[in-house]
């Protein structure tokens, strides 16, 4: 008689545990399903100085609005904003301009038929590296790689007059 009473108690205990825990499981399941929006990955702020060569600060006194510069970065190659991850169209040269700022990119070996197909990540890394050397004003630099021949391209940040 004792044994069957214990067995009954154990059965009730297990049933109660399962019943109590099930709302938690349901809540977690609903929460997992209710997060379809993936968080936007934070902006990459790391600087690799070797991403560029030959950076020259042309005129540090030129006042460029940083928001304009950021929009100009995404305006090269007819636009590389949003889901676009590469410079499309294989141009030998391209301009990205907005407000006060203008980027002019030219494949180092454009004369030999080289074209620009840089990824957005590499391009942004080249701009950060040049800005680390020239934090204000205009500059000229060479982005390593990002072209059909791998030799890179010159990029000039100038006032968009």
Ligand X SMILES: *[C@@H]1O[C@H](CO)[C@@H](O)[C@H](O)[C@H]1NC(C)=O
Give the binding site for ligand X (CB under 6 A): 44, 46, 48, 51, 86, 117, 119, 121, 125, 148
> Which CB sits closer to ligand X, 97 or 151?
151
> Which CB sits closer to ligand X, 119 or 160?
119
Least separation in angstroms between CB 84 and ligand X: 12
- Name the token pair of 67: 């928001």
Least separation in angstroms between CB 44 and ligand X: 4
Least separation in angstroms between CB 62 and ligand X: 25
Least separation in angstroms between CB 46 and ligand X: 4
> Which CB sits closer to ligand X, 52 or 72?
52
Taking CB atoms, the residue at the shortest distance from ligand X is 125
> Which CB sits closer to ligand X, 91 or 125?
125
């Amino acid at each position: 008689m004792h044994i069957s009473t214990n067995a009954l108690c154990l059965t009730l205990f297990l049933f109660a545990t399962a019943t109590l825990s099930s709302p938690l499981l349901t809540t977690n399941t609903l929460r997992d399903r209710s997060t379809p929006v993936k968080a936007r990955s934070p902006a990459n702020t790391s600087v690799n100085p070797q991403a560029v060569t030959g950076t020259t600060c042309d005129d540090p006194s030129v006042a460029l609005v940083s928001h304009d510069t950021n929009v100009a970065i995404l305006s090269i190659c007819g636009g590389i904003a949003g889901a676009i991850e590469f410079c499309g169209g294989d141009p030998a040269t391209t301009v990205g301009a907005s407000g006060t700022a203008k980027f002019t990119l030219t494949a180092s070996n454009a004369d030999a038929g080289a074209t620009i197909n840089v990824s957005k990540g590499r391009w942004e890394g080249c701009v950060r590296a040049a800005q680390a050397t020239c934090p204000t004003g205009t500059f000229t630099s060479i982005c390593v790689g990002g072209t059909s021949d791998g030799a890179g391209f010159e990029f000039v940040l100038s006032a968009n007059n």
